[in-house]
Chains A and B, each alone.
Chain A
């Protein structure tokens, strides 16, 4: 790792564009977006549905190719990376959490968490895996399978799985979208705690309450960045979102 020369930004987007379809039916889901997500900080991306916020996240995480522009994770240019390089990146420097927890049903919580390390060819120490599970408050659920857990617990396992590789950036796509408010609060508390201890997080959400827990909120409309708020509470975020939806 190039610890010495690390860029200040965890993720840098330079004029990225992503177009779906062709000709008259073409949709510019992300339209010439330039944005930086600062290191050690939690940024929420908000916008009405169809604003391109999920596409933006997928492009930033290298899950989707951009049609123009450049995506950097730290200093690494994703737009120039091949499949093998992207795979290596997913193993070491990027973590994902999604609305639908995407755990593997046949594996226990412990095995799910250890999976990225195993795929990377590392033999995970049981203590590390247990410690990661303990961090998300599930030390006692290590041997449970996903179907034996509540939604909030499953999402916390997913977070543990994303964190076990100590990624540079954690990408979260509507992480609380499928949870009740109590479970959502637990997950947001966990993310807050992680951000406070230096974890870079990029989160897409449509919930102003969730966005207000982040350090900064970026608003997206029609594939473009239209606004940015820092340190706002839920009401301010909701008002700003409503304003952009009205106009």
Chain B
């Protein structure tokens, strides 16, 4: 019986259900694709025929892609949870009158709950059914992106796993049911008399649940903002990049309260359409909040994360510029240190040879092998060229922890190079971790046999004597390797870091951002679906169709502005953590905002909501108002 009602309900309020269905389909697709990619990267075997060094480089690369895909999966799961649950809750709130009517003719609260849960199960199953094939499409796009940006080793293939079917259906059902659970309890408590109220929003929009969620997530966000500066470069960055999610959920939970307030800041003009738009914004706070919520999350996530990324990169670049002491940089292969020092006019040179390594820290059961980068350095020259603490203790059989972190700062580690076990080595020094990162392990000269270094990439930071002829030194050095000015080299390094940051953000947020944007459209369509009557009433009161459409457009504009502003507040919370963290690590608070991206997100949001509003209000006013008002239900 209830299922039949569900089906009948589906047919009638189709935009509501289409929106809920779409949110499940895309959420399942995104989560499924991210999970398959992560599993594929984690279980990837190195291609046959690689030598030991190649296998180590492959392992390092694979570790990095697993870490990246972990973040992708986390973001996808969060977005799916947020968008599906808010969409479902909104569809329930929009059908308050229908539910009250069922109560009026003898429906019990339990029956209403079962009806709503039945719908959620139906929509979750349908959504997952469509989401599984859609997920294959999303996976093709994501693999393409990953490969094009060089985040996966050559020959990476995202693989289908049969068990993913169970996971995807489970995800769709679980998220749909979780999304509707609270809303169903609330919807079932509707009073039968509410069926008689023609219009108007569902009573109190700020529920206890919203307050509790807001306080919990606010607490989490504040904790991260306070702790981030004490977390070191890696920990601080990780904590700061989690602030947007928490801050966005906090603000989204408070949105029935905040959106009408923020919406007042949007200019809506003086005409009657503007007046009606302002009144509707304040009156239908539930609807305004539901449209603004995905927008808040979108802005917070994209602007917050990308802004944090560019700021941390800028901070690292500034730190490098401040700490590097050299005139020229030479990139070459193999042991070039002696030849560089022999060039007339060279005062000193820190020559650094990179090697892939595996490091085992801890003993017995706790032993943990990690891919790492190691660098053979001249300790004294290194400390001078990078303004680092003294590495005088680094000689003989010993290692030092590098600026890249991830290494124990005392005790011993077991270091393995490709095909060569260096054995247990004491960690005799530890350089402070830097924002820019770098190598994990510094090795003294003489520890690694020369034949292992012959083909390794080597970089030398060269300082000239006061009386040297730069052109002549340059000419001499260019016979050894590629020579750059320090400034040019720093610039190129910064560009490369920025481009890596951009690529990571594209992978992590590209499809997620698109999903959130579709969530915005979804809510806007659902919000408009039940407004035909309201529009018809405005028209019989004397408004023209144009005025009604203009009023709806102005209302959507105000809600969009509110969403953008509140999203900016959530992103701002992230930037607070960024400022304190960069200040704690490098001594200089750094914020570098991606203004073109911010402008693009704002423009896209306004465009998308405006077009949606135009289309929905145009189609909702197609019928003659009198015909619509006559057909009472």
Contact = CB atoms under 8 A, between A and B. Distances in A.
A95 to B, nearest CB: 9
Nearest to B101: A102
A116 B106 contact: yes
A37 interface: no
Given A90-B192, A106-B11, A119 B632 contact: no
Nearest to B13: A106
Contacts of B1: 118-119
A230 interface: no
B11 A115 contact: no
Q: Interface residues of B toward A: which range? A: 20 to 34
Nearest to A92: B106
A84 B101 contact: no
A22 to B, nearest CB: 16
Interface string B174-197: 000000000000000001110110
Contacts of A103: 633
Contact of B633 (A84, A104, A120, A161): A104
Nearest to B1: A118
B102 interface: yes
A87 interface: yes
Nearest to A106: B12
Q: Interface residues of A toward B: which range? A: 20 to 34
Interface string A100-118: 1111111100010001101
A102 B192 contact: no
A192 interface: no
Nearest to B105: A116
B74 to A, nearest CB: 40
A151 interface: yes
A102 B196 CA distance: 8
Interface in B171-219: 191-193, 195-196, 198
B8 A111 contact: yes
A106 B8 contact: yes
Contacts of B594: none
Nearest to A150: B630
Contact of B192 (A63, A100, A178): A63
Residue in B98, B191, B631 whose Cβ sees the most chain A Cβ within 10 Å: B631
B105 A161 contact: yes
Nearest to A100: B632
Contact of B108 (A87, A146, A173): A87
A143 interface: no
A58 interface: yes
Contacts of B102: 104, 115, 119
Interface string B110-137: 0100000000000000000000000000
A61 B193 CA distance: 11
A141 to B, nearest CB: 15
B446 interface: no
B105 A96 contact: yes
B464 interface: no
A140 interface: no
10 contacts: A83-B108, A87-B106, A91-B106, A100-B196, A100-B633, A106-B13, A116-B105, A119-B1, A120-B106, A146-B632
